[in-house]
């Protein structure tokens, strides 16, 4: 069977072909074209489109295409489910999902930068995901530090580093906090913010919780948006859809869902409660 997706594959568009050929269709053929051509050419070539808007095989909710294929084809190998959050975290730039996600993102970015031929890149991607599968199936419990003495020394060293870092808050933390505060109504990604404050994205993902109330980037961003929404609900006459827009939620439904998760009541219920005071 032929499969077709966007050119210049990276992370999800390398992981999915690996998953399809290793566990679903060993003879699968993969084509890479410009994004605008994926769906028209899929129809012409009788190929299955994936990882593009409008295709069945694509991102859904907070999950990526790799997750969808696992669900669609009812794959049950535990190793694949150890790989899934690593791939999802790297592909969606939410490195809080798995400690291995920043590494996968970095390696995938390097491969895509070094290799300009998509089929050659796919071949290297198969080597990468074969290795990740071996780790997930046989080596995931193995630690790099083997002896108790080495582990104790490492813990002491990290305790020292933690103490050193707590003595002074880096300048990029203040810059990042200000960027988030002033751009809550925009689509913010950790990658873009890292570039703005001149910090490596993987480092920022790893260090974020240290300086931002022990939360991940996604959690902190949602909390800041909810705080701003609470202020607007108390002090303005904006409609709920306007507040959703001003606080960076995709729409009123998304705003209501997240608000209820944090406040245990809807924005409308909160506003009515405030009006009675």
Name which of 2-11, 150-159, 236-245 the model is least confident about: 150-159
What pLDDT score was predicted for residue 116? 92
Sorted by sequence, the CB contacts under 8 Å of residue 191 that are 6+ apart come out as: 93, 201
Q: Is the pLDDT of residue 45 over 70?
A: yes
- The DSSP output letter for 36 is G
Using pLDDT thresholds of 50, 70 and 90, give the confidence band for residue 148.
low
Q: Is the pLDDT of residue 260 over 60?
A: yes
Q: List the chain domain ranges.
A: 2-139, 148-214, 219-275
Contact 94, 108 (CB under 8 A): no
Using pLDDT thresholds of 50, 70 and 90, give the confidence band for residue 17.
very high
Sorted by sequence, the CB contacts under 8 Å of residue 92 that are 6+ apart come out as: 62, 64
Using pLDDT thresholds of 50, 70 and 90, give the confidence band for residue 78.
very high
The pTM of the whole model exceeds 0.85: no
- Residue 24: C-alpha distances to residues 28, 72, 177 (Å): 9, 11, 45
d(CA 230, CA 67): 34
Give the rounded percent of residues in the chain with a pLDDT score beyond 90: 51
What pLDDT score was predicted for residue 183? 84
Give the domain 219-275 fold: Arc Repressor Mutant, subunit A (1.10.10)
Using pLDDT thresholds of 50, 70 and 90, give the confidence band for residue 165.
low
Total Cβ atoms within 10 A of residue 138: 10
Using pLDDT thresholds of 50, 70 and 90, give the confidence band for residue 213.
confident
Total Cβ atoms within 10 A of residue 52: 19
Q: How does DSSP assign 79-148, residue by residue?
A: HHHHHHHHHHHHHHT-TTS-TTHHHHHHHHHHHHHH---HHHHHHHHHHHHHHHHHIIIIITT--S--SH
């Amino acid at each position: 069977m032929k499969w077709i997706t966007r050119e210049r594959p990276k992370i999800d568009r390398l992981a999915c072909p690996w998953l399809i050929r290793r566990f679903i269709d060993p003879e699968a053929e993969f084509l890479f074209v410009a994004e605008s051509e994926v769906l028209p050419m899929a129809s012409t070539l009788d190929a299955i489109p994936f990882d593009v808007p409008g295709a069945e095989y694509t991102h859904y909710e907070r999950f990526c295409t790799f997750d969808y294929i696992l669900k669609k084809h009812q794959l049950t190998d535990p190793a694949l489910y150890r790989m899934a959050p690593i791939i999802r975290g790297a592909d969606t730039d939410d490195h809080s999902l798995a400690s291995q996600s920043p590494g996968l993102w970095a390696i995938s970015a390097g491969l895509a930068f070094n290799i300009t031929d998509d089929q050659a890149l796919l071949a290297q991607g198969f080597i990468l995901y074969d290795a990740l599968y071996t780790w997930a199936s046989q080596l995931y419990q193995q630690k790099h530090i083997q002896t108790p003495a080495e582990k104790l020394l490492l813990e002491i060293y990290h305790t020292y580093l933690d103490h050193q870092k707590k003595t002074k808050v880096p300048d990029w933390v203040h810059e990042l906090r200000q960027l988030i505060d002033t751009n809550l109504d925009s689509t913010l990604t950790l990658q873009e913010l890292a570039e703005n404050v001149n910090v490596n994205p993987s480092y920022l993902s790893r260090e974020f919780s240290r300086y931002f109330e022990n939360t991940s980037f996604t959690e902190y961003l949602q909390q800041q948006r909810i705080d701003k929404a609470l202020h607007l609900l108390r002090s303005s006459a904006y409609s709920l859809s306007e507040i959703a827009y001003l606080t960076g939620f995709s729409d009123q439904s998304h705003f209501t869902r997240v608000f209820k998760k944090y406040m245990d009541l809807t924005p409308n219920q909160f506003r009515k409660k405030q009006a009675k005071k």
